[in-house]
Structures are given as C-alpha cells and as structure tokens.
Amino acid sequence: MNSDKSSFIPPAAIGFVGLGNMGYPMARRLAEAGYVLTVFDLASETVTQFCQETGATAADSLEALGIAADIVITMLPEGKAVRKVLLGEGDNVVAGLKDGAVLIDMSSCSPVDTRVLSKEMLELGFPIIDAPVSGGKYKAADGQLAIMAGGEKDLVESCSPVFEVMGKVFHTGGPASGHAMKAMNNFLSAGTLALASEAMITGSKFGLDPQVMVDIINASTGRSNSTEDKFPKFILPRTFNSGFYLGLMAKDLRFAVDLAASENTPNNFINLLSSTYDKAEEALGFDSDNTELFKYLESLAEED
C-alpha cells in the first residue's frame, strides 16, 4: 500500500473518470496545480473540450487510463457506474493499474455497497478511499469543497496534497464512512430545502412577500443553507440552476433510507423525504435541478 505523501504531489499522474458538473471543475483544478491528467468520460465532446482547455490527455480506454495513473479518481453518478468503470466486463481501470496505485471515489454512493466494493478492491491489492464532496459546482471551481474521506488513515493523509487542491478534507473513519457521512449530510440538505419550500409557499399564499420572508428567516432561527444560499441564488430569481440534478439528490436520499434500514435507526423523516423527492423526480425528470423541488411542491398547492 502506498502511503508516501511525496508520491502524490505534482507532477504525479492522475487518471480522472467523470467530467460532469462536478468532475470537470475538480479535474481542471488538479491540472492547474501541475498534476499530469489522463481523463475519460462517456461524453466525448466534453473530453475534447477539457483536453483543449487544460492540456490533459484523453484516454483511449479505461485500461490505458489505469496504466497511466498513480491515482485514479472517479466522479460518477453513483456506485453502479463506479463498479463498471473499475471492474466491469471488457475494458476496465483495474486491468491497467500498477502496484501502489490508489483509487479515490469522489462520487456519492451507497455506503452499504461501498463496504462490499472496498473489500473486493483491497483483496485485489488496490485500496480505495471513498471521498464524496459537498459544495456544488461553484465551490468545486473555487477549490472550496468539503471532502469526507473514508479509508485507512495513513493512506488518506498521503493523498492530502491531492485533496487540498479541491477543498478541505476530513477523515471520517474506515472504508465507506465517507459515503455514510455524505448520505446523512444530503438527508439534512434535502430536508431543509423541502421544509423551507413548504414554509415559503404557505407564507406567500397567505400574502407574505417571499423576499421579506427569506430576509427574516435568515435573521432568525429557521435559517439554513437552503434559505441562505439556494433561495436567494436559485429559487427566488427562479433560475433553478444550482448544477445538481434532482435525480442525484433523490438517489442520495435512497442511500440514506438504505443506511437507516441497515442500522435499524429511526427513519420517519428519511423515508418521507425520499418518497417526496422520488415523486418530484418522476414529475420533473432526473436532470431537472434539485432546487426545482420548490416548483414540485408549488404544483401541489390547491387553487382557491
């Protein structure tokens, strides 16, 4: 196992898979910091654009990306895609990996599944750190993400030069603990959005001014990231462009449901919230913005 911090400073070679809303700005920061990047995404136009912008190399295959990399980072929608990229039939990353290579999965995945995957990967000789992030695409671009890293402590520390380019890293404990932490954070994040939306819709229908409501909530005890950030930036102006798909949030809530079920812990609010987001996804589509939950809840208000 490689736990030598000096192995992972620039110009170490990073293979980056998944250049979406989050992966693109995260990988761009790594390239700008001097890491040598080889990248892969199903969207070939995005790969071309990224390589033109940063000088990164487009991998011909996942195996080629594995061969080129000291560290492989995945930033994919969820765990099924991560498993396919790392171990899938035919072309995969693991086929190319050299001894001492480290895997970092920064996607938000089911902690229950990650427990299984991390064990399998360790048996193959490749430790995997689950290191999901919070902060969205704007904080990704500014290198201000909160990174929740689960895995062997020395290994997480050895990767800190890489993490520090993207944000602030917290060691959460053993394998899968980062994904568990992320599922619980997004339960709270989705929860405050749903609660604040109902409060705003109800107050507005009664006649309160929405902007006045947000200003008062943010000076009062009802405030949250949703009222301080999402309402002023994406909901009141009705731009709904936070860059985080509603379908991805609904997926994170299903992970929270699974986690509560696996731990036999109280799940009333988790279950209710998850089914609400599932219905919103069904009504508005996977790739509507997560802040459009507000629109979905508005649509439930009865006409007078």
The one among 13, 14, 22, 147 contacting ligand NAD by CB under 6 A: 22
- Cα(147)–Cα(127) distance, integer angstroms: 18
Stretch that binds ligand NAD, among 13-21, 116-124, 159-167, 262-270 (CB under 6 A): 13-21
Residue 65 backbone phi and psi in degrees, to 5: -65, -40
- The strand pairing partners of 36, in sequence order, are 13
Q: Is the peptide bond before 11 cis (omega within 30 degrees of 0)?
A: yes
Decide: is 139 part of the binding site for ligand NAD (CB under 6 A). Answer: no
List helix spans (H) across the chain. 23-32, 44-54, 62-68, 79-87, 111-123, 136-142, 153-158, 160-166, 177-206, 210-218, 225, 246-263, 268-284, 293-299
3-state SS string for 56-114: CEECCCHHHHHHHCCEEEECCCCHHHHHHHHHCCCCCCHHHCCCCCEEEECCCCCHHHH
Stretch that binds ligand NAD, among 133-141, 212-220, 258-266, 294-302 (CB under 6 A): 133-141
Decide: is 185 part of the binding site for ligand NAD (CB under 6 A). Answer: no
The one among 3, 12, 33, 84 contacting ligand NAD by CB under 6 A: 84
Query: Per CB under 6 A, which of residues 239..278 are in contact with ligand NAD?
Result: 243-244, 248, 252
Among 42, 49, 39, which Cα is nearest to 14's?
39
Q: Are 259 and 183 in contact (CB under 8 A)?
A: yes
The one among 38, 107, 274, 291 contacting ligand NAD by CB under 6 A: 107
| From 80, 84, 119, 182, the catalytic residue | 182
Query: Per CB under 6 A, which of residues 193..212 are in contact with ligand NAD?
Result: none
The one among 18, 25, 150, 151 contacting ligand NAD by CB under 6 A: 18
In the numeric block, the tokens 């736990």 are attached to 3
Decide: is 47 part of the binding site for ligand NAD (CB under 6 A). Answer: no
Which residue type sits at 104? I
Nearest distance in Å: CB 281, ligand NAD: 13
Decide: is 137 part of the binding site for ligand NAD (CB under 6 A). Answer: yes
Decide: is 76 part of the binding site for ligand NAD (CB under 6 A). Answer: yes
43 or 212: CB nearest ligand NAD = 43
Token code pair at residue 264: 């036999």
Indicate if 295 belongs to the active site: no
Number of shown-chain residues binding ligand NAD (CB under 6 A): 29
- The residue whose Cβ lies closest to ligand NAD is 20
Burial of 219 (0-12, 13-18, 19+ CB in 10 A): exposed
The one among 27, 39, 41, 194 contacting ligand NAD by CB under 6 A: 41
Decide: is 146 part of the binding site for ligand NAD (CB under 6 A). Answer: no
Q: Per-residue b/e over 87-126, b at no fewer than 16 CB within 10 Å?
A: ebeebbbbbbbeeebbbbbbbbbbbbbbbebbeebeeeeb
Decide: is 20 part of the binding site for ligand NAD (CB under 6 A). Answer: yes
Decide: is 42 part of the binding site for ligand NAD (CB under 6 A). Answer: yes
Decide: is 78 part of the binding site for ligand NAD (CB under 6 A). Answer: yes
- Cα(107)–Cα(96) distance, integer angstroms: 21
Nearest distance in Å: CB 78, ligand NAD: 6
The one among 23, 111, 127, 143 contacting ligand NAD by CB under 6 A: 23
> Which residues lie near ligand NAD (CB under 6 A)?
17-23, 40-43, 46, 75-78, 81, 84-85, 107-108, 133-134, 136-137, 243-244, 248, 252
Which residue numbers are catalytic?
182
